[in-house]
Structure 1
Amino acid sequence: MSAVEPPPAAAGGTGAGSEPPPGAGGPGPRALARQRRRRAAAAFWRAYAANPAGVAGLAGLLLFILVALSAPLFVDTADLSVTRAPGSPYQPPSAEYPLGTDNFGRSVLDLVVWGSRVSLTVGFLATLVSVALGALIGVVAGHFGGWTGTVLMRVTDWFLVLPTLVLAIALATVLDRSVFTVILAIGITAWPTTARLVRAQTLAVEARPYIERARALGGGHWHIMGRHVLPNVMPLVLAQTTLMVASSIIAESTLAFLGLGDPTTISWGGILQDARNAGAVSSGVWWYLLPPGLAIALVALAFTLCGRALEGVLNPRLRERR
């Protein structure tokens, strides 16, 4: 007898019990995930672009970042030295010095451009410390509750009622005068607001049915917080971050203006402090005071506009009110 041949479907490998070859059944899971992320990013940008104030704030923010990153390309650090200043003291704005010179003969434009590096760096890093600490405490307090949440919230309330600037001044006075001290002083005093917002959002997420299913399936505390709670509170954390950067830059400028920053670095607040010490206010040297103050106001406004636009995009209730 001849051997029995397999059915055509089985021989061709296209039967119901076999898998199709790669690429024959459409995109794989990773490709589908990438497509979903691209669609979500496109929808996010369309919603953000619908806010003109947010677009203007983003454009201004990108301009400040570009100026700070490219500062070494067109600012000679030797011209920033008080002993090798190229100009004469207190020269008014001119073609050679668009923003005039300071009491040492340094270009105010060069000082403002170079100072953006320190001010933006301190603003970003201090915000990172503050938001990370606040998000961690808020998620843990909201998830565990009980005495753990009570203790964490009482500590948060204690920090919240203390004047942030006074506490930052105390820390900056006790520690060494450096950029790291300013970052630490701002970061560990500005986190309570983020902690309370994240805790409230965590409690709302914890009340959803899929959290109960995750617990019933054996999900532990860190699995639930890391895989379910944290992704749902990240939009709030992102919006809070953009709003906190503006506050951090203003706080850094205030500490530097009060003489608690690093005297060896140039920042916007340090320029204002030097102008005050040099008597620029009483002498009427407005070009020494106006540029750094205006830079602080504009960058704070840019971050605030971006934060409000992000909050409107990520919060469905705010989108419905438009």
Structure 2
Amino acid sequence: MSAASTTPRAAVSARQLAWRRRRETLRRGWAEFRQHRAGLVGLGILVVFVVVALAAPLLASSTDISVTRAPGGVLEHPSSTYWLGTDDSGRPVLSLLIWGARISLLVGLTATVISMVIGTLVGLMSGYFEGWGGALLFRVTEWFLVIPFLPLAIVLATVLGRSLFNIILVIGITSWPATALLIRSQTLSIKERPYLERARVLGAGRSHQIGRHILPNVMPMVFANTTLTVAIAILTETTLSFLGLGDPTRVSWGTMLDQAYSVGAITTGSWWFFMPPGICVILVVLSFTLIGQALEDVVNPRLKARR
């Protein structure tokens, strides 16, 4: 009776201890992250864009981005009425920027989640399992690394068609190999550590070793790599949309650049049409890059020793 009653308490206390350690690790990580001024600047820029994207219905009317209900004239200069002027359909460029932030961030984040899931699973499996299975996954990863990323994405986007889902899918399934290679190298290193050998001796199965020992140790590298992959995904979405492979029914910064190029905004001097979306892309990519570099220093202390 007493042994049965103490077992759940011991399990609860062990669980609480594990959560306490995780919270303490996150607290230390945040304290180290705050020491990186560039990382904080990148986080601040990203927060601004995320707030703008979430508050788009409050900041700009959805009717302003409709071609048939555009309120302004064609390519009007910036004024007190239209702070960033209008496009070739009479839509306010500022409204297009605000609503375009939603699509660009959505594509970048969703495609990155797909890329991280595929890359992490392939990296874990190819690094942990020996024999033909792991070798086959490693060869597939190498094959994807050899093929140029952008031409492959262009071909897939052309074949699948112009839609938001297809763009997300194309970016997700073409940007995972670098993550898989990173996770594989980490898995090979962790697999040789004493605590994993001790777990094998005590009878831990493969799923237990991967889920309880290897995956938690590679997750910091996954999170650090995620921020850099988001930047690549946003740039890829912008490139594909600029090439006319984006979703024509959705407003994104890439489709704005494509439309500005199509109507000759550069040659006519309509800088307010093509410069704002380009600057927004640069700022968001820069923010993710700064955050990623700061997270790399946090999760990899050896980088700090080299610097």
Specify the TM-score bucket, using the shorter chain as the normaliser. Answer: over 0.9
1:243 corresponds to which of 225, 228, 236: 228
Distance 1:93 1:44, change over 3 A: same
Q: Which residue of 2 aligns with 1:12?
A: none
Q: SS where residue 158 of structure 2 aligns?
A: helix
Instruction: Give the gaps of 5 or more residues in structure 2.
Output: none
Q: Which amino acid counterpart does residue 117 of structure 2 have in structure 1?
A: A
Task: Supply the distance in 2 between the matched residues of 1:41 and 1:196 (Cα, whole angstroms).
Answer: 26
Q: Which residue of 1 aligns with 2:130?
A: 145
Task: Supply the distance in 2 between the matched residues of 1:188 and 1:74 (Cα, whole angstroms).
Answer: 34
Q: Which residue of 1 aligns with 2:58?
A: 73
Q: Which residue of 1 aligns with 2:161?
A: 176
1:105 corresponds to which of 72, 86, 90: 90
Q: Which residue of 1 aligns with 2:282?
A: 297
1:46-61 mapped onto 2 (5 Å cutoff): 46-61=31-46
Q: Which amino acid counterpart does residue 151 of structure 2 have in structure 1?
A: V
TM-score of the aligned structures, taking structure 1 as reference length: 0.90
Q: Which residue of 1 aligns with 2:215?
A: 230
Q: Which amino acid counterpart does residue 161 of structure 2 have in structure 1?
A: D
1:127 corresponds to which of 101, 112, 135: 112
CA RMSD between the two structures: 2.1
Q: Which amino acid counterpart does residue 185 of structure 1 have in structure 2?
A: V
In the TM superposition, what is the alpha-carbon distance from 1:130 to its structure 2 partner? 0.7
Q: Which residue of 2 aligns with 1:216?
A: 201
In the TM superposition, what is the alpha-carbon distance from 1:146 to its structure 2 partner? 2.1
Task: Supply the distance in 2 between the matched residues of 1:171 and 1:39 (Cα, whole angstroms).
Answer: 44
Q: Which residue of 2 aligns with 1:7?
A: none
TM-score of the aligned structures, taking structure 2 as reference length: 0.94
Cα deviation, 1:87-115, whole Å, max 9, x if unaligned, reads: 11111111211111111111101001100
Q: Which residue of 2 aligns with 1:156?
A: 141
Distance 1:248 1:32, change over 3 A: same
Q: Which amino acid counterpart does residue 101 of structure 1 have in structure 2?
A: T
2:248 pairs with 1:286: no
Instruction: Give the gaps of 5 or more residues in structure 1.
Output: 1-16
Q: Which residue of 2 aligns with 1:196?
A: 181
Task: Supply the distance in 2 between the matched residues of 1:236 and 1:309 (Cα, whole angstroms).
Answer: 12
Q: Which amino acid counterpart does residue 75 of structure 2 have in structure 1?
A: Y
Q: SS where residue 262 of structure 1 aligns?
A: coil
Q: SS where residue 282 of structure 1 aligns?
A: coil
Distance 1:121 1:231, change over 3 A: same
In the TM superposition, what is the alpha-carbon distance from 1:230 to its structure 2 partner? 0.6
In the TM superposition, what is the alpha-carbon distance from 1:123 to its structure 2 partner? 0.2
Q: Which residue of 2 aligns with 1:116?
A: 101
Q: Which residue of 2 aligns with 1:259?
A: 244
How many pairs align? 303
Q: SS where residue 167 of structure 2 aligns?
A: helix
Task: Supply the distance in 2 between the matched residues of 1:237 and 1:45 (Cα, whole angstroms).
Answer: 17
Q: Which residue of 2 aligns with 1:167?
A: 152
Q: Which structure's CA Rg is the greater one? A: 1
Q: Which amino acid counterpart does residue 124 of structure 1 have in structure 2?
A: L
Cα deviation, 1:271-316, whole Å, max 9, x if unaligned, reads: 0001111111111101100000000000000000000000000001
Task: Supply the distance in 1 between the matched residues of 2:28 and 2:135 (Cα, whole angstroms).
Answer: 39
In the TM superposition, what is the alpha-carbon distance from 1:319 to its structure 2 partner? 2.6
Q: SS where residue 267 of structure 2 aligns?
A: helix
In the TM superposition, what is the alpha-carbon distance from 1:33 to its structure 2 partner? 3.8
